Amino acid sequence: MIKKILVANRGEIAVRVMRSCREMGILSVAIFSEADRSSMHVRYADEAYYVGPSPSNESYLKMDKILEIALISKADAIHPGYGFLSENTDFARLVASNGLIFIGPSPEAISSMGDKVTARKLMEASGVPVVPGTKKSIQNTEELHQIAHNIGYPIMIKASAGGGGKGMRLVKNEEELESSYNMAKSEARSSFGDDTIYIEKYIESPHHIEFQVLADQHGNTIHLFERECSVQRRHQKVVEETPSPHMTPELRNQMGEYAIKAAQSVNYVGAGTIEFLVDDKRNFYFLEMNTRLQVEHPITERITGVDLVKEQIKIASGEPLTYMQNDISMHGHSIECRIYAEDPQNNFMPNPGLIRHISEPLGLGVRTDGYVYEGYEIPMHYDPMISKLIIWAKTRVEAIERMKRALYEYKITGVKTSIPFLEKIMDTPDFVEGRYNTHFIEKNTKYLELNEPCELECQDIAMFVTYLDFIKSQESQVQDNVTNKPSPWKEFGKKRNLLRL
C-alpha cells in the first residue's frame, strides 16, 4: 500500500497531485529548488526537502538527488507530474530498481512511445491508422528523395526523438528537401542526441484531438473521451475543451477504440494520452502518445467525474480500475484556459515577477488549478504558466459565457498575464461557432489583437477617478447622499462597461 508519495515537480501540478494524496490519506513530500523555497507546493506538502539550485537541471532534473530524498523521507512512490522527469526512462528505471513505485507506465512503454518511428511501427502493426509516411527512419538522401516523391508534397520531416513540434519541418517541394532534411537532422542531433529522421504526408488543416486512457496492471484499458486541443500558439496549447465541437458520436467510439488499442500495443499501465490529427473529412491519424498526466487533464475530470490522479495512484498500487468502460459517461461541457505570466502585447514575452494582487474567480462551475498567491514572486527559471481556469456548464454556449464571466472576475496585478488574450479568444466567431482547427490563432489575428490599453489598467483608472469623485462629494455636502444624485459607484459601473466595448 502507498502511504507516502514524493512529488517530483513544482507549481500547479505538484499542488494538484498533493490534493488527491490528501483526500486519499496519503502523505506528500515536496522537493524544492532555491527559487521555490516559498512556493505553494512546499507549503501544501506534509514534508519538504531542498533539492538544489534554481536551474531545473540542478534541481527538478537531478535524478540521484530526488531518489535520495525519496529514500530518506521513506516515501513509497514518486509521482513525476508532467514535464521534468515524467517521460524519462532512466528515472522510471532508477525509481523501480530502488524498490520504489514510479507512478506512471513501464520504462519500456515510455521508450517505445518516445521513439516516434518505433511508435508508428507498433501502431501500424496493431491496425491503428497513422499519418501516411515512412515505415522506418531515413537512411540516406537517395532514399529521402525517393520516399518524399512517393508520399507526394507537401511533406513533414520529423525527428524520431522529437515530439510536441520540436525538430519538425514542413517541406513544400523537392527544391527545399535536402536542406530541410540536413537542418532537421543536425537540429535533432544537438537537441536530442539522436538524429533519426522520418517523413510524413503533411495534413493541411488538422484538428489536434487527443484521447485520455487509463489502464491498470490487470489488463483493463478504458478511454475517457477526447480533448480538443487545436487552439495552440507556437506548439503551446492555449485553450482546450471537451467534448470536441468537431466530434460525432460514431467517430468518438471509433477513435476511442483505437486509443485503447494504441495503449494496449505497448502494454500501457497508468494514465496516458493518444494524440490524433483529424482532418475536415474526419479522417484521423495517430500522431504520438504522451505517457504522462497532461496539463489539460482537468476538463476530462470535469465531464466524467473521474479523479485522474487518484486513479493513477490506485493503478500504481496494483488495484484494478474503479471504472469499466460502461461506467464512463460524459456530462455537460468543459473548457480550460491556460493563464500565463506573459505579455500578450509584447509577443507573449514571459513576464515573471511579484504578484501584487490576485483575486480568483469563484462560483458555479468554476475551478482554478494554480499555485501563486499575493506577495509570491514568480521565478524566471520555469514555465510561466501560473494557473488553469477550468469551466463546466451544461452546454458549450453556457460554458463560453461562464468562461467570460470567470475571466472577467480574474484579477492579477504585478505581472502581465494572457487573460486579455483569452477574453479575445472567447469573443472570436470561429471559436464561438466551434469551427476551428490548428490554424485558429494565425487565422484570427484580426480578432485577437490587443491594441487598446490593457483592460485592467482602464478599470484601475476608472476606479481611481470614481473614488476621487466620491471623496469630493463627501467633503462638499452630506446632503448629496439623500438627494437623487446618482451614486458615483453606479457611474463607475457605467464607465467600466463603456471601457469594455
Of the pair 39, 230, the CB lying nearest ligand MV4 is at: 230
Q: How far is the CB of 396 from ligand MV4 (least distance, A)?
A: 20
Q: How far is the CB of 268 from ligand MV4 (least distance, A)?
A: 19
Of the pair 170, 468, the CB lying nearest ligand MV4 is at: 170
Of the pair 166, 424, the CB lying nearest ligand MV4 is at: 166
SS3 286: strand
Of the pair 154, 332, the CB lying nearest ligand MV4 is at: 154
The gap from C-alpha 121 to its chain's centroid, in whole angstroms, comes to 27
Q: How far is the CB of 266 from ligand MV4 (least distance, A)?
A: 18
Spatial neighbors of 256 by CB under 8 A, at least 6 apart, are 211, 223, 225, 226
Of the pair 55, 154, the CB lying nearest ligand MV4 is at: 154
Q: Cα(454)–Cα(414) distance, rounded to whole angstroms?
A: 13
Of the pair 103, 255, the CB lying nearest ligand MV4 is at: 255
Of the pair 206, 270, the CB lying nearest ligand MV4 is at: 206
Q: How far is the CB of 67 from ligand MV4 (least distance, A)?
A: 31
Of the pair 131, 419, the CB lying nearest ligand MV4 is at: 131
Q: Cα(90)–Cα(345) distance, rounded to whole angstroms?
A: 41
Task: Identify whether the C-beta of residue 28 lies closer than 8 Å to the C-beta of residue 7.
Answer: yes
Using alpha carbons, select from 217, 194, 202 the residue that is nearest to residue 101. Answer: 217
Half-sphere exposure of 111 (CA within 13 A, CB side): 8
Task: Identify whether the C-beta of residue 3 lies closer than 8 Å to the C-beta of residue 27.
Answer: yes
**C-alpha torsion sign, points 131, 303, 294, 241:** positive
Task: Identify whether the C-beta of residue 235 lies closer than 8 Å to the C-beta of residue 441.
Answer: no
Task: Identify whether the C-beta of residue 24 lies closer than 8 Å to the C-beta of residue 17.
Answer: no
Of the pair 216, 275, the CB lying nearest ligand MV4 is at: 275
Half-sphere exposure of 462 (CA within 13 A, CB side): 20
Single-letter residue type at 269: V
Q: How far is the CB of 4 from ligand MV4 (least distance, A)?
A: 35
Q: Cα(71)–Cα(88) distance, rounded to whole angstroms?
A: 19
Residue among 16, 227, 292, 367 flagged as catalytic: 292
Of the pair 2, 425, the CB lying nearest ligand MV4 is at: 425
Q: How far is the CB of 485 from ligand MV4 (least distance, A)?
A: 55
Spell out the SS3 assignment of 39-75. Answer: CHHHHHCCEEEEEECCCHHHCCCCHHHHHHHHHHCCC
Spatial neighbors of 262 by CB under 8 A, at least 6 apart, are 123, 126, 128, 213, 274, 286, 289
Other Cβ atoms closer than 10 A to 150: 11
Q: How far is the CB of 152 from ligand MV4 (least distance, A)?
A: 12
Phi, psi dihedrals of residue 190, rounded to the nearest 5°: -75, -30
Q: How far is the CB of 281 from ligand MV4 (least distance, A)?
A: 15
Is 292 one of the catalytic residues? yes
Spatial neighbors of 101 by CB under 8 A, at least 6 apart, are 2, 76, 77, 78, 95, 316, 317
3-state DSSP helix/strand/coil % of the chain, to nearest 5: 40, 25, 35
Q: Please return the burial class of 221, using the count of CB atoms within 10 Å of its CB with bins 0-12, 13-18 and 19+.
A: buried
Q: How far is the CB of 454 from ligand MV4 (least distance, A)?
A: 28
Place of cell 488553469: 388
- Angle, helices 419-426/396-409, rounded to nearest 10 degrees: 150
Residues that bind ligand MV4 (CB under 6 A): 131, 156, 164-165, 200-203, 206, 208, 232, 235, 277, 287-288, 438
Cell of 489: 459607484
Tell me 479's DSSP state. G
Q: What angle do CA 137, 280, 330 make, to 5 degrees?
A: 100
Catalytic annotation, residues: 292
